[in-house]
Amino acid sequence: MNQSNKKNLEFIINSGVNYFLQDSPRNWFENEKKSQQSGFNKDTGDKKTQIDEVIKDLQNHKSSLQKMATKLVVYDGNLNAKVMLIGEAPGRDEDQQGIPFVGRAGQLLNKMLLAINLQREDVYITNVVNWRPPDNRTPNDNEILEYLPFLQRQIDIIKPKFIFLLGGVAAKAILSTPLALGKLRGKWHEYKSLNLEQGIPTIASYHPAFLLRSPQYKKHSWEDLQMLQEKLKNEL
């Protein structure tokens, strides 16, 4: 096993699971990447234009959060991703760099993705709220409702095959439920939009920042990741 794969095992080992990665991890999106390298992908171009419009609208949207934050944080990753990851809101590091999940929680998220043979460039990563709340506090209900339309537009544009929700804020926003995350995780839900022909299979799990504070829940997060991995296998 090469050195890179040894590092990828860290998240799984900490989850209390015995698991071995192949020396050459399978990339579920390899064929898509090869086709995109052959020339300009019209679908990607159209999506980029539409996402840029969302970004422009967010920049022009005046809110109290914007006044106290440094940089707008919208997305990272692949516009043609099959998987969309939705977190809570930017933290300090994200606010400084303008990219979601780049701090310690982001490093853990990278390991979580590698554990199921995915990388950041394979997925689309965003948040419910796009400006950092003061002192990294949890976004309140009004802020969630304020930014939810921008998130819904992103989902309609990207059209992911699956949505993976990271934390209670994302679960509340997308699943429209007051239920605690512990009662939502471990099962598939469906996100529906009037602008999409079909509902999107959606699973809720713990936010990486929460896992850093409470590592005993990593085993549950690993179970949720395995459910996603199984869905991706069935897509091949």
> pLDDT digits over 16-55, tens only?
554 333 344 545 455 444 434 433 466 778 999 999 999 9
d(CA 81, CA 78) in angstroms, rounded, equals 5
Whether residue 108 contacts residue 118, with contact meaning beta carbons closer than 8 Å, is answered with no
pLDDT score, position 30:
52
Tell me which residue has tokens 């699971």. 17
Where exactly are the structural domains of the chain?
A: 3-13+44-235
For the chain, list residues with pLDDT below 50: 18-24, 26, 28, 31-40
Closest-CA residue to 89 (of 157, 48, 150, 47): 150
**Amino acid found at 140:** N
Nearest alpha-carbon partner for 51 in 29, 6, 81: 81
pLDDT given at position 2 = 56
**DSSP category for residue 23:** S
pTM for the full predicted model: 0.84
Compute how many other C-beta atoms are within 10 angstroms of the C-beta atom of residue 56: 10
Look at the domain 3-13+44-235 and name its fold: Uracil-DNA Glycosylase, subunit E (3.40.470)
Which token pair is 196? 């999409």
- Determine the Cα–Cα distance for residues 189 and 203; give it in Å rounded to an integer: 6
| Amino acid letter, residue 198 | Q
